[in-house]
Structure 1
Amino acid sequence: MPKIEMDPLNRRILHELQADGRISNQDLSERVGLSPSPCLRRLRQLEADGVVSGYVALVDPDAVGLHVSAFVRVRLDRQDDRHLATFEQAIAAFPEVMECYLMTGEADYQLRVLVGSLAEFEDFLRYRLTPIAGVAQVTTSFALRPVVYKTALPLE
């Protein structure tokens, strides 16, 4: 992917979009100091270049009954490409897995899992996660409360 020039105007556009993804082009152009046409042209270029990869609504997990947030570290018995691919394909199919990272250090993977209750987490652990071929060890920490949660990238 070609690297797009991240000049101050593009950074301001991205800053405003990260704060309000539903902002109108008129309001966006006023906030960044451009007329609507060049502002829309820049936005479309940011989208075409993959800098803006999509738009979403952020939903409060508690409001929809997802009260348990767990951070799960998974160690595989082997770290060859076949075992990594098997695990990654299986884990991608689980809707309660919000994030999954291949890691360095003690664990091979770190997951962020959202479920409604500890009983749901136990079911996830016992019947979905640990049966995946190659899973050797699972360690879980439960979040008590969020302290910092950001969706906007630090563009400065």
Structure 2
Amino acid sequence: MPKPKLDRLDRRILTLLQEDGRQSNSELAGRVGLSPSPCLRRVKLLEEGGVISRYVALVDPVAVDLPVNVFVSVTLERQVEERLDSFEAAVMERPEVMECYLMTGEADYLLRVVVPDLASYERFLKDHLTRIPGVASIKSGFALKQVRYRTALPLDHLADG
């Protein structure tokens, strides 16, 4: 599917929806400077084109007793397709794993794991991560403080389509 061309209005719509995905189409249209019908058409095209992939609610992890963020570097014994697929499938099944990236550099994967406490991370490590076939080493780093967390992508680099 070709990448949709995004003009100034599309970028503005995306920026506003990233700030508040629950605003009504009328509110959004007013803030963008369009009437509701053309605004809704643009939003639908952004959804159909895969630019807007979904709408979510962001939950405060501390409010739901998940204050511990652990960044985990995982190295596999061998980087072969079968091992990569096996590791990725195992990680996809773990609700503690919020993010997982295949990396270049020293480690093969970087994970962000959220848990209520250190004991929960130890159980996750012993009962799940270390049991994935092909894992050679695991290095964990605990976040002491969240300095910045964003979900809105910066869109200023996009030129008018």
TM bucket (normalised to shorter chain) is: over 0.9
Report matched runs for 1:1-156 at 5 Å. Answer: 1-156=1-156
CA distance in 2, matches of 1:48, 1:112: 30
CA offset at residue 3 of structure 1? 1.3
| Residue aligned with 2:128, SS | helix
CA offset at residue 5 of structure 1? Answer: 1.1
Residue 130 of structure 2 aligns to which amino acid in structure 1?
A: T
What per-residue deviation string (whole Å, max 9, x for no partner) do you get for residues 28-65 of structure 1? 00000000000000000000000000000000000000
Amino acid at match of 2:120: E
What CA deviation, in whole Å up to 9, does each residue of 1:50-106 have, x standing for no partner? Answer: 000000000000000001100000000010000000000000000000000000000
- After TM superposition, the score normalised by the length of structure 1 is 0.99
RMSD: 0.4
Structure 2 stretches of 5 or more lacking a match?
157-161
% identical aligned pairs: 61
CA distance in structure 1 between the aligned counterparts of 2:82 and 2:3, rounded to whole angstroms: 32
After TM superposition, the runs of 4+ consecutive aligned structure 1 residues lying more than 2 A away are none
1:48 aligned partner, one-letter code: E
CA offset at residue 145 of structure 1? 1.1
* Alpha-carbon distance in structure 2 between the residues aligned to 1:95 and 1:16: 30
5+ residue gaps, structure 1, are none
Residue deviations 1:131-152 (CA, integer Å, cap 9, x gap)? 1000000000000111110000
* SS across alignment from 1:85: helix
